[in-house]
């Protein structure tokens, strides 16, 4: 059985925390274990799947008048699943969160079906909420560099300022997800010219590391007050433990407010900026797909929309007939 990542539940804890009948708990335990060991889901994905399924079973307690057992799960109709989505929408969930909740529930029911436990055709007939089409909102190259410079110049503990600047440099310079950057261990530094990164679903990729990023990490380690061993995290908080994503997000919020940048400026926006700026500079879409670790080229193609929109904006501002 896979060892749970920090902050996640064990399969036993996950099953026990869900308000289901006793005959369902062994299958919840097996499903959660499957997500951890075979699907190699990230800690964030595990939390979301568990939360969504737990809320579905909480709904069923009210909806059915009792904790749902296997027989009840197999007998659920289309209107029952729709009632759950309606409840969640009335609670304020937007379409993207509703689609994720439905995906989590489908994952569990699919697991039951494949195991020959129960099958429910109603769930397969239920359409996912229609998602609004959105394109990434990158920073300009100047704003991305200003954000990193502002982090380095913050009037806080010098080692913390150096740490934050190093993290933001990795997000923008290597296109890392925030979880990927914070999962790097001390043994990886000094950073090599290329870095092996484990992304979503345990998928590995190799990313080049710019000299400026390697220097930023060296500067941070030189100032870091903790004697970090090879198995320790590279980026630590004030108590010497692995830095939490929330701290990085809070730092970016503070920096963007100070610089007067838009609310769309987040740690993930630096990853968007990495891809968009590579594409604008003539980067190959397939190569960018590999650098980002996207399973499908269609995911990477959203950055072509960003570049197309940028060109249209330039045309609209510059062409003498654009306003006539």
| Residues annotated as part of the active site | 177, 200, 268, 271, 294, 303
What DSSP line would sit under 9-57, residue for residue?
PPHHHHHHTS---TTTHHHHHHHHHHHHHTS---HHHHHHHHHHHHHHH
Contact 237, 244 (CB under 8 A): yes
Largest CA distance in the chain: 72
Collect contacts of 237-246 with beta carbons under 8 A, ≥24 apart: 238/160, 242/6, 242/182, 243/163, 243/167, 243/182, 244/182, 245/178, 245/179, 245/182
DSSP-assigned letter for residue 198: E
Query: Between 95-114 and 43-64, two packed helices, what is the crossing angle to 10 degrees?
Result: 90
Contact 43, 5 (CB under 8 A): yes
Which SS3 state, helix, strand or coil, does residue 196 take? strand
- Strand 204-208 versus strand 194-198 pairing type: antiparallel
State phi, psi for 206 to the nearest 5 degrees: -110, 130
Angle between helices 43-64 and 78-90 (to 10 degrees): 110
């Amino acid at each position: 059985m896979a060892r749970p990542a920090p902050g996640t539940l064990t399969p036993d804890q996950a099953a026990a925390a869900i308000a289901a009948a006793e005959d369902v708990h062994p299958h919840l335990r097996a499903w959660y274990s499957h997500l951890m060991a075979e699907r190699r889901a990230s800690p964030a994905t595990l939390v979301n799947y568990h939360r969504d399924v737990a809320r579905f079973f909480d709904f069923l307690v009210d909806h059915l008048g009792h904790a749902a057992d296997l027989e009840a799960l197999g007998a659920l109709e289309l209107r029952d699943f729709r009632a759950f989505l309606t409840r969640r929408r009335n609670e304020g969930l937007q379409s993207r969160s509703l689609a994720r909740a439905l995906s989590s529930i489908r994952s569990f029911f699919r697991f039951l079906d494949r195991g020959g436990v129960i099958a429910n055709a109603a769930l397969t007939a239920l359409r996912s909420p229609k998602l609004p089409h959105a394109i990434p909102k990158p920073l300009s190259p100047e704003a991305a560099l200003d954000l990193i410079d502002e982090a380095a110049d913050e009037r806080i503990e010098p080692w913390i300022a150096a740490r934050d600047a190093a993290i933001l440099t990795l997000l923008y310079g290597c296109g890392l997800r925030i979880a990927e950057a914070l999962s790097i261990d001390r043994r990886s530094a000094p950073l090599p010219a290329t870095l092996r990164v484990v992304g979503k679903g345990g998928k590995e990729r190799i990313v080049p590391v710019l000299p400026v990023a390697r220097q930023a990490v060296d500067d941070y380690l030189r100032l870091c007050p903790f004697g970090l061993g090879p198995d320790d995290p590279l980026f630590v908080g004030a108590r010497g433990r692995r830095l939490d994503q929330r701290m990085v997000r809070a730092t970016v919020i503070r920096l963007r407010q100070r610089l007067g940048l838009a609310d769309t400026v987040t740690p993930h926006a630096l990853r968007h900026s990495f891809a968009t700026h590579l594409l604008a500079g003539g980067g190959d879409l397939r190569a960018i797909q590999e650098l980002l670790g996207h399973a499908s080229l269609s995911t990477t193609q959203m950055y072509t929309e960003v570049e197309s929109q940028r060109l249209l904006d330039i045309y609209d501002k510059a062409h003498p007939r654009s306003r006539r």
